[in-house]
Amino acid sequence: MTKAATPQTAEFREGSGQLLFPPGFLWGAATAAYQIEGAANIDGRKPSIWDTFSHTPGKVLGGDSGDVACDHYHRYREDVGLMAELGLKSYRFSVSWPRVQPDGSGGANQAGLDFYRRLVDELLAQGIEPWLTLYHWDLPQPLEDAGGWPARDTAARFADYAELVHGALGDRVRYWTTLNEPWCSSFLGYGSGVHAPGITDGADSVRAAHHLMLGHGLAVQAMRAARPDHDFGVTLNLYAVSPETDSAVDVDAARRIDGLANRIFLDPILLGRYPQDVVADLQPVTDLAHVREGDLDVIATPLNMLGINYYSRHVVSGAPAPDAADEPSCWPGSERIRFVTRGLPVTDMGWEVDAPGLVEVLRRVNDEYPEVPIYITENGSAYVDDVVNDKVDDPDRLAYFDAHLRACHEAISHGVPVRGYFAWSLMDNFEWAWGYSKRFGMIHIDYDTQLRIPKSSARWYADVIRRNGLAAQ
């Protein structure tokens, strides 16, 4: 398929000494409900799998939970004020399913929906485009008790929930993301078990991936029927994947990991089929008998946009580690592949900083799949921060953003239709199994006082937004 080059303006091409982005580029920041809201037991909200998981001893570092988090439920007005100070054009947030439909089925909890109405109205009043994610991992616990994502019915429940939220907020929200990172929901939630609900079953993880995608397709169909003018999409966490060496075993390991990390979602959603090599790799784990006729047509319901979350690259070796044997794995059928590091600088997560990998991912998606507008819906880094005289200077985080924005610019100059960028994250928050020990925010949170301090990366980002670009190097 030949790709039309993205229309570039003279301003973008000539740059006037700066690296300018196309006019209308959507500059934003992202968060997720369970990571920031707190108010876990208020106004009718009931537990999600993350409440259960974080209250299970040993699952989350330090015994942390999202019970209070950044108390955003009560402080959203202040937080939207900070977004306005940064000049954000858009804010990506997620809706907590157990807040708005506490049992995962049946009627809406109006008090929960009211919170999102207030939040969205505040955003609109400040001229900030709301970008709503329906599922950022907080499945209502009753649905997990009924089988969770490995059960087909959960897909139908998700579509009902999507319709319910869309019915309530569709008059004021135009951008709708169904799922955030179904890879994590499936393979960390049901494979390695390091995320909620903490199940370790390879076949379940593959079933979960399928039902998440089915739920996505059903939800887009239901919402689009009501509002064909809205923009619907899904967010995938994509990785650049490389073999450690050019040996045949390493190259095959890279093919397998690319299959399980990227193509197992990209191919069904954008091409309407599972990649045959991945289906073959999965044979020892599952025969995919849960895939029913017609499912792939639903899963491939056309998208208005694709969200990509990018953090790092996987470098892999097919020469297995001697002790890699029987740990629960998030790589079903490919459990013994070894992940290696190359000695590049790492973030506080231990993830190597690899901005060229983002160019690779963006060009690959655009070259190998039908063209769809792309938004970077998350990109960012955790570093240890020090508060000195009420200020936080975070040069490493700033450099990470800078390098990855240059990568986006490079991809755009190659014709990839990247239409926006959401920094992860607006503020420090509950980093899942790592609790509050990892700080990804542009705004520092003091969890004792709930004081917010914009870091130097936030000031820098405000300047990038104001100029619609970066200073040329």
Of the chain, the end-to-end C-alpha distance in Å amounts to 35
Residues in the interface with ligand FCB (CB under 6 A) total 12
Q: How many CA atoms lie within 13 A of 226 on its CB side?
A: 20
List residues bridging with 141 in a β-sheet.
Answer: none
Nearer to ligand FCB, 392 or 433 (CB): 433
Dist. CA 38–CA 442, nearest whole Å:
19
Q: How far is the CB of 291 from ligand FCB (least distance, A)?
A: 26
Q: In this structure, how many other beta carbons lie within 10 angstroms of the beta carbon of residue 171?
A: 10
Nearer to ligand FCB, 6 or 65 (CB): 65
Q: How far is the CB of 329 from ligand FCB (least distance, A)?
A: 18
Q: Rule CB under 6 A: is residue 424 a binding residue for ligand FCB?
A: yes
Q: How far is the CB of 171 from ligand FCB (least distance, A)?
A: 27
Q: 337 and 256 in contact (C-beta within 8 Å)?
A: yes
Please choose, out of 164-172, 176-184, 267-275, 458-466, the segment that lies near ligand FCB by the rule CB under 6 A.
Answer: 176-184
Nearer to ligand FCB, 136 or 255 (CB): 136
Q: Which two tokens stand for residue 245?
A: 């060496």
Known catalytic membership, residue 368: no
Taking CB under 6 A as the criterion, the residue among 184, 270, 306, 359 binding ligand FCB is 184
Q: Rule CB under 6 A: is residue 432 a binding residue for ligand FCB?
A: yes
Known catalytic membership, residue 181: yes
Q: What are phi and psi of 236, to 5 degrees?
A: -115, 145
Q: How far is the CB of 216 from ligand FCB (least distance, A)?
A: 15
Q: Rule CB under 6 A: is residue 348 a binding residue for ligand FCB?
A: no
Q: Rule CB under 6 A: is residue 274 a binding residue for ligand FCB?
A: no
**Site pattern 229..248 for ligand FCB (x: CB under 6 A):** --------x-----------
Dist. CA 261–CA 332, nearest whole Å:
11
Name which of residues 275 to 314 contact ligand FCB (CB under 6 A): 309
Alpha carbon distances (Å) from 277 to 123, 210, 308, 369: 45, 17, 23, 17
Q: Rule CB under 6 A: is residue 122 a binding residue for ligand FCB?
A: no
Q: Rule CB under 6 A: is residue 378 a binding residue for ligand FCB?
A: yes
Please choose, out of 73-81, 254-262, 424-432, 465-473, the segment that lies near ligand FCB by the rule CB under 6 A.
Answer: 424-432
Taking CB under 6 A as the criterion, the residue among 37, 144, 181, 244 binding ligand FCB is 181
Name which of residues 18 to 47 contact ligand FCB (CB under 6 A): 32, 35
Nearer to ligand FCB, 329 or 425 (CB): 425
Q: Rule CB under 6 A: is residue 113 a binding residue for ligand FCB?
A: no
Nearer to ligand FCB, 48 or 309 (CB): 309
Question: Which of the following is catalytic: 181, 244, 410, 431?
Answer: 181
Q: What are phi and psi of 388, to 5 degrees?
A: -125, 120
Q: How far is the CB of 91 from ligand FCB (least distance, A)?
A: 15
Q: How far is the CB of 241 from ligand FCB (least distance, A)?
A: 16
Dist. CA 433–CA 330, nearest whole Å:
15
- Give the residue numbers annotated as catalytic, written as ranges: 181, 378
By CB under 6 A, name the binding residues for ligand FCB: 32, 35, 180-181, 184, 237, 309, 378, 424, 431-432, 440
